[in-house]
Copies of this chain bind each other. A is one copy, B any other.
Amino acid sequence: MTKKLKTGVIGLGRIGQIHLSNLVHHMPDAEVIIASDLSPASHAFAQNLGVANVTTDAYDVINHPDVEAVIICSPTPFHVPYTVAAANQKKHIFCEKPLDVTLDAIQAAEKAVSENGVKLMVGFNRRFDNNFANVRNIVKADKIGDPHILRITSRDPAPPPVEYLKISGGIFLDMSIHDFDMARFIVGSEVKEVFVKGDALIHPEIKEFGDIDTAVIVLTFENGAIGVIDNSRKAVYGYDQRLEIFGSKGMAKAENNVADTLQHYDNQGGHSALPLHFFLERYETAYRVCLKSFIDCVKNDTPSPVDAHDGLMATAIGIAAMKSLTEGRSVKMEEVLQYAAV
């Protein structure tokens, strides 16, 4: 039997637990050697899954001599420091999004990864959602021709608490960043300009610290396509994740996944199910496929499906979006990227 990839997991919060479970139950090509979390309370979760070696120190994972790859699920400010340290230890890295909220930090991570010849994959799991992956396949197969218009609808079922929003980094880096990555993925071209119109229509009080909860974002791509993303922090009918790409030969769209296919008709009309509640339900399989593609790229020594450049561009679009909102004008990506040696 082929040797299993030895991994260590850093961070056992909500996402860390998902990745750890998937590694144990669904990745026959990988095993988990060690896991870390600042809070000892979360250690029992790993031990119940058979991971005996748990620690409060992330560097115990990074420096463990048997660990070949680290799965970084810590809070965002630690993503780059852990990535750099792991790269210097010649460990491959799977890191949750966003890599960082500044371009400088991301470039430091990119440099460490490059210099040490290790692989880095950013956890943009939605690319691995069945629906969206198939839309991308349709585009790659030239079935829609030249892309002209991209539409992404991405609405959460309910906003996080205002206390969280204060430290979230803002809607663009906390929420829309997934859509920025999806836009680049589907269209297959770089964004060159960003315009935002947004407002705090759900929680007006978050305007005080410069955030919004409703946004329409126009992206112009280098290949000529024009994209539009609409975001809301609160869709009372559930998690709304749809997209559509229109081009010279046709159109492809992906609808929501729903809880069941039941249709009930009475004298009031037809009634059908809500979308799956939130990202844990909607992207359950995508998390698994995403992580598996990391294990595969390390084992087969193939390029990372979502690399540091992808992580950098998503953050850069987020920064441009914030600049557009603040300055009330369309912002060219070169304004954001000019000081970064992209």
Contacts and interface: CB of A to CB of B under 8 A. Distances in A.
A263 B252 contact: yes
Nearest to A245: B264
Interface in A231-274: 232, 234-237, 240, 246, 248-257, 259-274
Contacts of A227: 216
B246 A235 contact: yes
Contact of A251 (B135, B237, B248): B237
Interface in A312-342: 328-330
A95 interface: no
A149 interface: yes
Nearest to A204: B224
Given A148-B232, A198-B226, A226-B214, A252 B246 contact: no
A227 B255 CA distance: 21
A131 interface: yes
Oligomeric state, in number of copies? 4
A261 B251 contact: no
Contacts of A250: 236-237, 264-267
25 contacts: A130-B259, A134-B273, A138-B264, A148-B201, A149-B216, A155-B246, A195-B195, A197-B218, A199-B226, A215-B226, A218-B228, A230-B246, A235-B246, A236-B248, A237-B251, A237-B266, A237-B267, A252-B264, A253-B263, A254-B260, A254-B263, A255-B263, A270-B273, A272-B272, A328-B330
Given A146-B201, A250-B264, A272-B272, 5 more contacts: A155-B246, A235-B251, A250-B266, A269-B273, A269-B274
Interface of A: 25, 130-131, 134-135, 138, 143-144, 146, 148-149, 151, 153, 155, 193, 195, 197-199, 201-202, 214-216, 218, 220, 224, 226-228, 230, 232, 234-237, 240, 246, 248-257, 259-274, 328-330
